[in-house]
Amino acid sequence: MIFYDFEYERPGSLAEAAALLNGAGGDARLLAGGTDLIPNMRVEVVTPSMLVSLGGIEPSAPDENPDGSIRIDALSKLSDLVDSKLLRRQLPMLAESALTVASNQVREMGTLGGNLCQDTRCLQYNQKHDFQFVEPCYKRGGDCCYPFPGNDATTCWSVYMSDIACVLLALDGQLEILGPDGTRRMPVAELFTGDGLNPFTLGAEEIIEAVVVPPVPERFGWCYHKTSVRGGLDFGTTMIAIALQLAADGETCASARIVYGAVGQGPLRPVAAERAMAGAALDPAQIAAAASTEITPLPHHGFDKGFLRENIRVNTERSLVRAMARAQGRE
C-alpha cells in the first residue's frame, strides 16, 4: 500500500507526457511498468506528487534502420525484447540479457526505459524506513550511511543493477531522449553520473524514447554472464557484458568493450584492459586478471570486495573464451 496521496495522469502520447512532466516542476515521475517505482514508493524512498503513466502509449516493435542500426522503443516490455525475432537474430546478447531480468511476470510489466532508469539499490535503502532505522541515510535525505559509516553526505555507494544497461554499453547503444527542446541523442554511457545519490544525467522533464544500437561488425563476438544467488527472480551479484571484434586474421583483437554491472553506482568499464586488447592476440586469463584489478567493485548485499573481484576475474576469463569462439564462428 502507498500511504500518501498523489496525482495520476495517463496521457495518450509521449509529447503529452513530456508536457505534463514539464508542468510539474520536477516533482512528477514517469510510470512505465512500475516494477521498480511502485515498490520504491511503497517503502517511501521516492514520494512523487504526480505519476505520469506511459501505459496508454503503444510502443512500436524493434525495427532495423536503413543503415543497419536497430531502434528499440523504450516503452517495449522486456518480454518483447526476449521474443523479438529481429533482436534474437541481430542482437542476441540484448535478448539474452532481457531474459535474465527477474521473472516472466516482471518482464511482462517492466519496460526497457524503466530498466535503464531503475534506481540504485542498497540493503539499507530498499526497506520501509520506520521499521528498520533510527534515522534516514543520506540517500533518503538523512544524515548517515549505514553500511559505509565513513562516507560523507555527498557519497552514497548504492549499486546500479540493470542487466540491460551493461549490454547496451558493450554494444555502444545510443539513447533518443525527448525533452522540452525536442529529441536529442546521447550514448547510453552518458546516462550515468556515477553518483549513488543522483544516478542519472536525465533532466526531470526528459523521457527516453528509444535506444538505437549500431550494426555489429564482421567477426563479432559477444558474451553476457550474470551471477545471481537464486538464478531466477534475482538481481545480479555481478554482470559481465563483452563485445569484441577480431581482425581479419581471426586471432588478433581489433577492438573490445567489457562492461561490469552491480559493482558500482553505474556500469563500470576496465578501459585500460580494453585498450591493451586492441591490436593484440587475446589472452583471456591475462585480460581477466588485468580487468578485475583495474576496477574497484563496491561491496553490496553481503558480497565483499574480494569475492566480487574474484567473481569478475573468473567470469571475465570464461566470457572472453566464449566471445572469441563466437567471433571465430566456432559457436
Ligand X SMILES: Cc1cc2nc3c(=O)[nH]c(=O)nc-3n(C[C@H](O)[C@H](O)[C@H](O)COP(=O)(O)OP(=O)(O)OC[C@H]3O[C@@H](n4cnc5c(N)ncnc54)[C@H](O)[C@@H]3O)c2cc1C
Query: Residues in the site for ligand X, rule: CB under 6 A?
Result: 29-37, 39, 74, 78, 101-102, 106, 109-111, 113-115, 117-118, 161-163, 207-208, 233-235
Residue 300 contacts ligand SF4 per CB under 6 A: no
Angstrom distance (rounded) from CA 146 to CA 125: 9
Of the ranges 2-10, 137-145, 273-281, 287-295, which one interacts with ligand SF4 (CB under 6 A)? 137-145
Minimum distance from residue 151 beta carbon to ligand SF4 (Å): 6
Look up residue 21 and give its amino acid: L
Least distance in angstroms from the C-beta of 153 to ligand SF4: 9
Residue 19 has which C-alpha cell?
A: 508536457
Q: Do 292 and 310 form a contact (C-beta atoms < 8 A)?
A: yes
Short-list 257, 265, 270, CA closest to 200: 265
Site string for ligand SF4, 88-107 (x = CB under 6 A): --------------------
Going across the sheet that includes 220-227, the strands are: 220-227, 238-246, 253-261
Q: How far is the CB of 95 from ligand X (least distance, A)?
A: 14
Q: Examine residue 161 and tell whether it contacts ligand SF4 (CB under 6 A).
A: no
DSSP letter assigned to residue 4: S
Indicate whether 160 belongs to the interface with ligand SF4 (CB under 6 A).
no
Minimum CB distance to ligand X, residue 84 (Å): 16
Residues 6+ away with beta carbon under 8 Å from 167: 93, 94, 97, 224, 241, 259
Distance CA 125, CA 118 (A): 14
Contact partner at residue 102 from ligand SF4, ligand X, none, CB < 5 to 8 Å by partner kind:
ligand X
Beta carbon nearer to ligand SF4, 147 or 179: 147
Asked if 307 is part of the footprint of ligand SF4 (rule: CB under 6 A), the reply reads no
Q: Are 266 and 239 in contact (CB under 8 A)?
A: no
| Cα distances (Å, whole numbers) of residue 163 to 78, 112, 253 | 11, 11, 25
Pick 115 or 292: Cβ nearer ligand X: 115
Which of these ranges, 106-114, 152-160, 268-276, 312-320, lies near ligand SF4 under the rule CB under 6 A? 152-160
Chosen from ligand SF4, ligand X, none, partner binding at 33 (C-beta under 5 to 8 Å by type): ligand X
Q: Compute and round to an integer the Cα radius of gyration of the chain.
A: 20
Q: Name residue 52's beta-bridge partners.
A: 9, 30
Choosing from 100, 125, 160, 277, the residue that interacts with ligand SF4 (CB under 6 A) is 125
Q: Which residue among 29, 77, 107, 139 contacts ligand SF4 (CB under 6 A)?
A: 139
The reply on whether position 40 binds ligand SF4 by CB under 6 A is no
Dist. CA 264–CA 286, nearest whole Å:
23
> What three-state secondary structure class fits 322?
helix
Minimum CB separation of residue 12 from ligand X in Å reads 15
User: Is 158 one of the binding residues for ligand SF4 (CB under 6 A)?
Assistant: yes
* 153/233 with CB nearer ligand X: 233
Find residue 51's DSSP bridge partners: 8, 29
Per CB under 6 A, the list member of 75, 122, 171, 327 interacting with ligand SF4 is 122
Encode burial over 37-74: b for 16+ CB neighbours within 10 A, e otherwise.
beebbebebeebebbbbbeebebeebeeeeeeebbbbb
First to last CA, the chain: 48
| By the rule CB under 6 A, 76 interacts with ligand SF4 | no
CB half-sphere exposure, 299, CA atoms < 13 A: 9
Return the residue nearest ligand X (CB atom).
114
Q: What is the binding site for ligand SF4 (CB under 6 A)? A: 122, 124-125, 137-139, 145-148, 156-158, 196
